[in-house]
Structure 1
């Protein structure tokens, strides 16, 4: 996994992690300890809602994949 920064609206996370090499397999892991308010917001969205984001300065689109309860982390799919 590679550490990355992500901005979703007004939320900025500096300790997110990218996983996967190929398009369609890449995921972004957002630890809830970074911003509990963002995690509550993600919990309210469904898996089909597109989420515009900026990853390391580049525009991206995320989709909620699942919540990893063991690690208290949201896992997002990259479009």
Structure 2
């Protein structure tokens, strides 16, 4: 996983990580909560079926909440 930049509304994260696992949930982006605690609170409020437009490494994407990883304190979001 390499570092990536992501923009969701007015939130900009420069230390997100991308991963791809076709067997599990496909392409995902991992957003560390220490990067922006306010964004993490927003993500916590999302419904599981909410889709949100974002710019991921300069490309427009749609994000969906996948899960929160307590051990790493990060949100994992699926994207297309």
TM-score strictly above 0.5: yes
Matched with 1:72 is: 73
**5+ residue gaps in structure 2?**
none
**DSSP-derived class of the 1:70 partner:** coil
What does the per-residue CA deviation read over 1:18-59, in whole Å, with 9 as the maximum and x for residues that have no partner? 00166x611000000000000000000111000100001110
Rounded to whole Å, the distance in 2 between the matches of 1:40 and 1:77 is 18
Question: What is the rounded CA distance, in whole Å, between the counterparts of 1:42 and 1:19 in structure 2?
Answer: 19
2:15 paired with 1:7: no
Name stretches of at least 5 consecutive residues in structure 1 with no aligned partner: none
Runs of 4+ in 1 over 2 A off after TM superposition: none
SS in 1 for 2:26: coil
TM-score, scaled to structure 1: 0.93
CA RMSD between the two structures: 1.2
Question: Which structure shows the bigger proportion of residues in strand conformation?
Answer: 2
TM-score (normalizing by structure 2): 0.92
